[in-house]
Chains A and B, each alone.
Chain A
């Protein structure tokens, strides 16, 4: 029994099919309870008023935007080293989800920034690096779409993902150097001073769990779709030959 057994597409589909209901139901329960708890049962902040509650969308989305890229990096590495097709397809499946998470983080940030900072957008390091991350997602998705041959596309995009990761980290520190931030520090931190108050952070944990489950469910679903689409293409190609 090893994790590589799941590189078999049939086994992957069977296992994820079994897990899917739990993931989907868990995601819905966590998201609904976390968001409802956060939106209606937490007090207004004394300075930010009720706008503080956008944190329950903003922070989990931003977290998943970064973690989706890391997951794509790991999947790309697995594809380069062990050449399991499911891995390449999982990386492909995660990219649009990650891009949407990035957009959610940027949009909710802008909506919050308008009343609080008085502007939709500032060239703050965090905002800028998220915009750059979004560009990386766009390039990655566009490269997948542009190349006809599946294996070539998988190889090229996984190398782009590796190189892109290095440059994304470089950009992160470059923009940190380039401008002082307006964005507040980490919301969740072991440092008591930096951590938001417990009354806000408890619903946030539930909401983050919901986003994580949602991400896993979506990636599984999209990977299954990719596997089936590829199988259908193979069947059509075989029909044509005979």
Chain B
């Protein structure tokens, strides 16, 4: 498992720039939004938590098709499937690698980009917390979507269509935590719901992803 994880991480960092892609997209979104809606600080600080969350979600979505597509093309996914590691373990490691290369950098970059969007003072902590709790769910759900469409040519658009509605609860609760945190309100309820969705998705969805991947490889 660790060997697979390090292999995926190395591939992401060294080959093809999958590592920087999500981060660069996140940066571009946060730079473009103020240009689009105007530079008023009051407006920006009101929408900043939502923009950060949407940017993170889209950056995640952008890198999803890399999870299985490259391995499927060069056939290494078949080798992995015949390896002693169960399929559930493989998809979990894949999701973890995706989170480490996409989700974690987004979490760390969010406060810096929050400055650009004049995020309110109290908001920084909660944006980081909500992203840290929520992005694993995004990675795991995305792995499910990627596993569904792995064999398809031009599956990217279909995968977005399948994954976006699945992202709705995570986005709603995550952005709600960030928004309430920014306004200094209590965040307990949405944070607990977000954590519940995240843990539930991490615990259960790998089984669905593994089942789907097995069907696609047979």
Contacts and interface: CB of A to CB of B under 8 A. Distances in A.
B169 A174 contact: yes
Count class of interface residues, chain A: 20 to 34
Contacts of B144: 163
Contacts of A167: 165-166, 168-169
A177 B164 contact: no
B166 A138 contact: no
Interface in A121-152: 132, 135-136, 138-139, 142-143, 146-147, 152
A138 B162 CA distance: 8
Interface in B57-116: none
Interface stretch (B3-11, B24-32, B41-49, B205-213): B205-213
Interface string B163-188: 01110110011001000000000000
B152 A174 contact: no
Interface stretch (A46-54, A153-161, A189-197): A153-161
A155 B214 CA distance: 10
Contact of B165 (A147, A152, A164): A164
B193 A174 contact: yes
A174 B172 contact: yes
A178 B190 CA distance: 10
A163 B165 contact: no
A170 B169 contact: yes
B161 interface: yes
B215 interface: yes
Contact of B205 (A155, A160, A163): A163
A32 to B, nearest CB: 36
A162 B208 contact: yes
Contacts of A201: none
A24 interface: no
Contact of A143 (B158, B164, B172, B208): B158
B208 A139 contact: no
Interface residues of B, number: 28
B34 interface: no
Nearest to A133: B165
A171 B162 contact: no
Nearest to B212: A159
Contact of B148 (A135, A143, A174, A177): A143
B190 A156 contact: no
B146 to A, nearest CB: 13
A159 B208 contact: yes
A137 to B, nearest CB: 10
B204 to A, nearest CB: 8
Contact of A163 (B149, B208, B216): B208
Given A152-B215, A156-B216, A171-B168, A177 B161 contact: no
Interface of B: 144, 148-149, 151-152, 155, 158, 161-162, 164-166, 168-169, 172-173, 176, 189-190, 193, 197, 205, 208, 211-212, 215-216, 218
Interface of A: 132, 135-136, 138-139, 142-143, 146-147, 152, 155-156, 159-160, 162-164, 167-168, 170-171, 173-175, 177-178
Shortest beta-carbon contacts, A-B, top 10:
A174-B172, A170-B169, A174-B169, A135-B165, A139-B162, A171-B168, A155-B215, A139-B161, A167-B166, A178-B172
